[in-house]
Amino acid sequence: MDPALFTRVDPTTWRVEPTGRMRVPAIIYADEDLIRGMDDKVFAQATNVAMLPGIIGASYAMPDAHWGYGFPIGGVAAFDPAQGGIVSAGGVGFDISCGVRTMLTGLSVSDIMNVQKSLADSLFQNIPAGVGSKSAIRLDLIEMDLMLAGGARWAVERGWGEWRDLERIEERGTMAGAKPEMVSERAKERQRREMGTLGSGNHYLEVQAVAEILDASVADAFGLLKDQVVVTIHCGSRGLGHQIGTEFLKEMVMTAKESGIELPDRELACAPIHSEVGQRYLGAMRAAINCALANREILGHNARRVFGHFFPDCALRLLFDVSHNTCKVEMHVVDGKRRELFVHRKGATRAFGPGHESLPKALRSIGQPVLIGGSMGTSSYILVGEATSEAKAFSSACHGAGRALSRHEALRRWSGRKIVDDLAANGILIRSPSTRGVAEEAPGAYKDVTAVVAAAEQAGLARRVARLKPLICIKG
List the catalytic residues: 399
Give the separation between CA 384 and CA 402, rounded to whole angstroms: 19
Residue 168 burial (10 A CB sphere; 0-12, 13-18, 19+): buried
In order of 206, 354, 386, 444, the CA distances from 404 in angstroms are 21, 32, 27, 8
Sheet arrangement for strand 13-16: 7-10, 13-16, 26-29, 55-66, 73-79, 337-346, 326-334
The candidate with the shortest Cα–Cα distance to 73, out of 56, 102, 98, is 98
Where b means 16+ CB within 10 Å and e means fewer, 62-74 reads bbbbbbbbbbbbb
Cβ-proximal residues to 175 (8 Å cutoff; 6+ apart), any chain:
151, 286, 287, 289, 290, 293
348-350 and 86-88 as β-strands: parallel, antiparallel, unpaired? Answer: unpaired
Give the separation between CA 255 and CA 90, rounded to whole angstroms: 14
Instruction: Give the number of residues written for the chain.
Output: 476
